[in-house]
Amino acid sequence: MDTVLIATLFCVLLATGILFLDGRNRIVLSVLLVLNLAFWYLVVGRGMDILYAENGWMENSQVAVLLVSCVGFVGAAFALRMRDRALALLLAVLCFIFSFREVDVDELEVPRWVIFLLAEEGRAIFFVVALGLVIQVLRDARHYLDHWLGYLRSSPGIYLLEAAFLLVVMSGAFEEDLFGFQYHVFYEELSELLAYCLLLAASLDLPRALRAIGK
């Protein structure tokens, strides 16, 4: 019974975004909705537990999507006005931070300095960079406060809101197994994969969406 309820919740979340987006972005969410249903069929219907196993297909896909999203946000930064550039770079850094969170770097056959940088104290460098970008964004706080509704209703705004809900609320609850669901690990991995796909969608539409705000 819980699988039906959770599957419905995932579908409703994605379908809600479709109501507020334009044609091209509706297609993106529709594709994610189909992908979501495909995973439910394969895992719950066909018993393909291997898809969400540790270091399995879903986790590897999460890393790949995050790295592509990082590149997408960096590319968007160069296409945006100076004011929004720091915001795009901040999102790029966050995607990169999320990516090495999904990988057990210390178990890979990589140079020691890579392990230090991505799995040990060296990670602090990226958090310092992120903090610097947050400060830069806050310098334009007046602009963002004046146009908060425009940012919120833009396609990246909707994508980021949905991604945040999936990561903070749903993934967090399933990771802690608060409800004792049989497929809680699958729910967690699917929440994260869909959230990262939404970040990718936001990175691709960021320049077009933000150019129309605060002209």
Q: What is the mean pLDDT of the chain?
A: 89
Q: Give the tens place of pLDDT for each residue, 85-101.
A: 999 999 999 999 999 88
The string of pLDDT tens digits covering residues 34-59 is 999 999 999 999 999 999 988 889 99
For position 182, what pLDDT does the model report? 87
**Residue 160 contacts by C-beta under 8 Å, 6 or more apart in sequence?**
198, 199, 202
Q: Is the pLDDT of residue 121 over 80?
A: no
pLDDT of residue 34: 94
∠ Cα 143 207 19 (to 5°)? 90
Radius of gyration for the chain, computed over Cα atoms and rounded to the nearest angstrom: 18
pLDDT of residue 214: 59
AA identity, residue 26:
R
Does residue 108 register a pLDDT over 80? no
Structural domain span for residue 65: 2-211
The residue-averaged pLDDT of 142-158 equals 92
Q: How confident is residue 3, by pLDDT bands cut at 50, 70 and 90?
A: confident
Confidence at residue 124, expressed as pLDDT on a 0 to 100 scale: 84
Task: Say whether pLDDT at 72 is over 90.
Answer: yes
Q: For residue 107, is pLDDT > 70?
A: no
pLDDT higher than threshold 80 for residue 120:
no
Cα separation of 6 and 39, whole Å? Answer: 13
- Token pair, residue 152, equals 């919120």
DSSP-H helix ranges across 2-154: 2-20, 23-40, 57-79, 82-101, 112-119, 124-139, 141-146, 148-153
Domain total in the chain: 1
Note the pTM of the prediction, 2 decimals: 0.93
Mean of the pLDDT values across residues 115-137?
84
Q: Give residue 106's pLDDT band: very low, low, confident or very high (50, 70, 90).
A: low
Residue 82, pLDDT > 90, answer no
Render pLDDT for 188-207 as a digit per residue (tens, 0 to 9).
Answer: 999 999 999 999 999 999 99
